[in-house]
Amino acid sequence: MNFSSKILEEAVDQVSQLPGIGKRTALRLVLHLMRQPEHNTDALSDALLKMRHDLNFCKKCHNVSDVEICEICASHNRDQSIVCVVEDIRDVMAIENTSQYRGLYHVLGGKISPMDGIGPQDLKVRSLVDRVKNDGVTEIIFALSPTIEGDTTNFYIFKQLDGLEVNTSTIARGIAVGDELEFADEVTLGRSILHRVPYENSLKN
């Protein structure tokens, strides 16, 4: 693209470095900001800087939080003995939205992925083991994506927990509610039969 202004080009370059945003979309967004009042751009810029510099993470579960120990970890209404291990904060939000879980979380910050150069040392695994040792955690629920990386990470953590008094489980894999059976992939369908639940249990929700 030939820009008639270096300032415009720099803005488009910066915006197009965001994932999933190409040069054309970046230009569209920048032109939008150009047409809006100046304080809109100021507010956007402020919010991004504040997010990047002032955002804190819960000392316990590593979820984003404005205070040292996040609301969930500090809550007396949550079961402190169960910890659900997730990849990032979006998973916490997704599970919280279900209102079905009353335990705590542990945000790993990613999955073991040699292709992306992410090893166990880049994830919050050690602090999870410490929580099991020191905080009276009796059950760990693995809720990572069912990919090779997710399974590898689960297994790595499982090995690290070896010898500790803690139960481990994974979230159920199966046919999504509302899905047609015939369109399910065979691995998922196979697991859903292998891990079938008593009919009475399925009536509870």
- Tell which positions 80-99 bind a second copy, by CB under 8 A: 88-90, 92-93, 96-97
Task: Identify the CA nearest to 144 among candidates 165, 118, 164, 162.
Answer: 118
Quick check: 23 binds a second copy (CB under 8 A)?
Answer: no
Quick check: 3 binds a second copy (CB under 8 A)?
Answer: yes
Secondary structure class of 64 (helix, strand, coil): strand
Give 54 or 186: the residue with its C-beta nearer to a second copy: 54
Q: What are phi and psi of 168, to 5 degrees?
A: -120, 145
Quick check: 68 binds a second copy (CB under 8 A)?
Answer: no
Residue 38 CB, nearest distance to a second copy (Å)?
A: 5
Q: What are phi and psi of 142, to 5 degrees?
A: -85, 120
Chain CA centroid to CA 183, Å: 27
- Beta strand 167-170 with 139-142 is parallel
Q: 166: Cβ–Cβ under 8 A, 6 or more apart, which residues?
A: 132, 137, 138, 139, 140
Tell me, by CB under 8 A, how many residues bind a second copy. Answer: 59
Per CB under 8 A, the segment of 13-21, 76-84, 177-185, 197-205 that binds a second copy is 13-21
Give 35 or 204: the residue with its C-beta nearer to a second copy: 35
Of 22, 59, 71, 169, which one interacts with a second copy (CB under 8 A)? Answer: 71
Q: Give the span between the Cα atoms of 123 and 62, in whole angstroms.
A: 10
- Residues engaged in binding a second copy (CB under 8 A): 1-8, 10-11, 13-15, 17-21, 25, 27-34, 38, 40-45, 47-56, 58, 63-66, 70-72, 88-90, 92-93, 96-97
